[in-house]
Structure 1
């Protein structure tokens, strides 16, 4: 029997849910997933980008509830430090926390212009200038990390907290046909090839399409 429950939203559209889910998978936590109906206010807040604070994903473990993605990452790092979600080196760990926090609180133009939709594909998508600045910053972060750690993940040979935080961006880049240099394209493919990502994508593709009717303009 699983020792924890992770409450998530749509696998096709829920970028924050993907982050929390990947963190649990990367940590090796035994958990059951509970998917909240798309009509639930917390789920809609995530999918419509209407709230800076989401109640999904929410990890329940040992009688403790943790519902912010960064908090989930830190909690998992405390209870399962052997998983290596954060780098051992103090400087690298500070860098990891910094870029994860930047992803957590920034890139609003990218989020609104390129909403997560794993089942969709838009070849030749026209990216407006505000979103392009966010894309350029993401690519800069990836290049710096990959150069320092020599890949294939942002902080070395194993996936961790920062990779989980940027994984939904990888799916967005593929959905909207964002052109990447060879190093960043290889990193994106590495993320997509993770067994956990493939499992999530299979789940996303199996979802019904009713969420596309959400009344919001991106």
Structure 2
């Protein structure tokens, strides 16, 4: 049996590091992507330096992984970008900054989904591909007093992309899974502070293993997994 392959787009010290640790623990070869890259490159690890604000870089990542190892069965998108604004003057953000953030938060997600679907379609009938986008509550609630216009626009669009991918997979009777995940408090409130890396990794593992029974737009709570809440708006 071949070693499974995963790609993490947007590696960092929090959620990214926890997801990498979880994937290695499950026996995956892991290609992680950040602007600075890393020092570790061996038969089970690729630390790649790519900027997600250039969407064509995402295709380059997939090509590198395919040439090195083969097709990935797990893709986690953890990239995000924000140029914060005064919440009373949110449209003061420049077009340049809006486009930069949209590239990371949405356009590169679109490319990652296209590449992931191409990989999933090449897998055997018994294999399952899983794509997870690390989101937040902004696809439901604008949090108008926070000045998060560029981030919220991107998250909302990404949620639509994920839903569309999941619907297409179902229509084509493909056993591929697509998720937008959003950590919440036990009461269902937005997780404005205290976003938990290990909790994300644990939930993503449940999604990969098919144990979460969660919809494409999935809210979750630390130590509880998937939990449904009323929409915030």
TM-score (norm 2): 0.32
TM-score (norm 1): 0.34
- The structure, 1 or 2, with the larger RCO (C-alpha pairs under 8 Å, 6+ apart) is 1
Higher helix share: 1
